[in-house]
Amino acid sequence: MTDKLYKAPDSVGIVKTQYYTFAEPPDEILLDCGKKLGPITVAYETYGTLSPKKDNAILLLHALSGDAHAAGYHSANDKHPGWWDTMVGPEKAFDTSKYFVICSNFLGGCKGTTGPNCIDTSTGKEYGVTFPMVTIADMVKVQKKLLDYLGIDSLLSIAGGSMGGMQALQWVIDYPDMVRSAMVIASTSRLSPQAIAFDEVARNAIVNDPNWKNGEYYGNSVPHHGLAIARMIGHITYLSDESMHQKFGRRLQSKDTYCYDFNSEFAVESYLHYQGDKFVDRFDANSYLYLTKAMDYFDLSSKFGSLNKAFEHIKSKMLVISFSSDWLFPPYQSKEIVKALMNNDKDVSYMEIFSSYGHDAFLLETDHLTQLVKSFLNHLIEV
């Protein structure tokens, strides 16, 4: 079955993750926290062909648990395509017959880019919690280094959902002359106190797992229980009340009557446990700590004095998209971004998509997003 999928005419097919290493001592990069970091390795994938003028490059920015593998398959036997495979490929939203699409794993991740699970060359051991705190701006700085290496000094567009949208906003602020357009999807200019609270509970679940051992669990038992709970908490925020009703209701998992014990009986309970256990197999607990903290720190209003001031020097054409049932990054937060852009007379379009999927809609509402993205990109080419 997979063989047919990767050979489908709208698939990018089999792809390979590539790696770029830079910032070798003494040329480390200076992070927002004041510490230096290097060497840094970046994992990335590309799809399509860069035009002779190098004017068709699009940078995709992934969310918290994503990686560089945005589309296609890693082998003929790979059962799982990239995280945005429905959007990237020939004739898809990010049409690889027209555009050169790049996606990299961000700094602090655990999918090939330098993060807490990588070896600190100064000690020969994994960084663990000695890894410096990183910010969204630090991630963008590393992505810029990758593009320099690829010989790309201008981006037709950048696009990101959720945490990827935060990076997109940081990009257009930090490199206004480099980014022609940006798509900010189901995102925010700063986390709400509620979102920070969920992150804190998730982090506490990890650090209170006996196997966490102050981050020094590599080579031993991982903090499975804590990371699984953190993911369960996250999944609750990704869904909506309506989607939970549609998907689970109050359905019992296997019996028609209650068991009157503390085992998981409801279908929604079983789903959360499954998602938590599956996540542990592919993600690093320390990375989860660092990445949620990076999101908590992200606050453009605080950094620049106001959101209006943050957007003063943006030159990109902007598309902001929200989803009606997203209560993690609700539509009002997208509207705040749009208002601040309009206050600065920036070229911005906004769409709120009616959806019952909650925050996950940015990965699931493919038809709506394809229509919007294609139209947005086509207009750029025509202008």
Annotated binding-site residues read: 231, 360
For residues 102 and 96, give the distance between their C-alpha atoms in angstroms, rounded to a whole number.
10
Helix/strand/coil (H, E, C) string of 214-276? HHCCCCCCCCHHHHHHHHHHHHHHHCCHHHHHHHCCCCECCCCCCCCCCCCCEHHHHHHHHHH
Nearest residue to 127 (alpha-carbon basis) of 280, 296, 284? 284
What are the C-alpha distances in Å from 207 to residues 108, 118, 202, 286?
A: 18, 19, 9, 9
For residues 68 and 21, give the distance between their C-alpha atoms in angstroms, rounded to a whole number.
15
CB of 230 closer than 8 Å to CB of 210: no
* Burial 8-30, CB ≥16 within 10 A → b, else e: eeebbbebebeebebbeeeeebe
For residues 75 and 96, give the distance between their C-alpha atoms in angstroms, rounded to a whole number.
19
For residues 82 and 66, give the distance between their C-alpha atoms in angstroms, rounded to a whole number.
9
Pair type for strands 36-37 and 29-30: antiparallel
Reading the block at residue 61, the tokens are: 């920015």
Which among 62, 225, 235, 359 is annotated as catalytic? 359
For residues 321 and 163, give the distance between their C-alpha atoms in angstroms, rounded to a whole number.
14
- Phi and psi at 300, nearest 5°, equal -65, -35
Residue 302 bears catalytic tag: no
Per the annotation, binding residues for substrate are: 231, 360
Helices in 59-183 by DSSP H: which ranges? 136-150, 163-174
For residues 289 and 129, give the distance between their C-alpha atoms in angstroms, rounded to a whole number.
9
Residue 104 bears catalytic tag: no
Which among 11, 104, 157, 162 is annotated as catalytic? 162
Give the max Cα distance, the chain.
Answer: 68
For residues 209 and 226, give the distance between their C-alpha atoms in angstroms, rounded to a whole number.
5
Residue 379 bears catalytic tag: no
For residues 162 and 72, give the distance between their C-alpha atoms in angstroms, rounded to a whole number.
22
For residues 165 and 189, give the distance between their C-alpha atoms in angstroms, rounded to a whole number.
9
For residues 59 and 72, give the distance between their C-alpha atoms in angstroms, rounded to a whole number.
16
Which among 189, 326, 355, 356 is annotated as catalytic? 326
| Tokens 């063989």, residue located | 3
Q: Which residues are catalytic?
A: 162, 326, 359
